[in-house]
Amino acid sequence: MNRDRLLGSWHQLRGTAKELWGALIGDPYAVATGARDRLLGEIQEQRGLAQEEADRQLTDFIKRNRNWSDLSSR
């Protein structure tokens, strides 16, 4: 297991903790950032990418699919 995959597991754990903390205190922003961190960790772990590259790929994906709910009703 290389360092990037290990850090991906760490990001997943940290994201899950942020989500649970946000739910506990009723902060939707903390829940959303926790979900993003968890997803970033999954990408990093599965692909073995550096954090910056995984973050860039996730940001590009979100920008491309920003209005996905509008497209799903067609």
Mean pLDDT, contiguous 10-residue spans, the chain (74 residues): 82 92 94 91 88 90 78 55
The dihedrals phi and psi of 50, each to the nearest 5 degrees, come to: -70, 160
Q: Is residue 67 part of a domain?
A: no
pLDDT at res. 1: 60
> Residue 18 is encoded by which pair of tokens?
């942020």
C-alpha separations of 38 from 8, 14, 42, 45, 61 in Å: 9, 7, 6, 10, 15
pLDDT at res. 34: 92
Q: Is residue 71 part of a domain?
A: no
pLDDT at res. 8: 86
Q: Is residue 33 part of a domain?
A: yes
Q: Is residue 47 part of a domain?
A: yes
pLDDT at res. 68: 66
Whole-prediction pTM = 0.76
pLDDT at res. 17: 94
Number of domains in the chain: 1
The single-letter code of the amino acid at 30 is A
> What domain range is 22 assigned to?
3-60
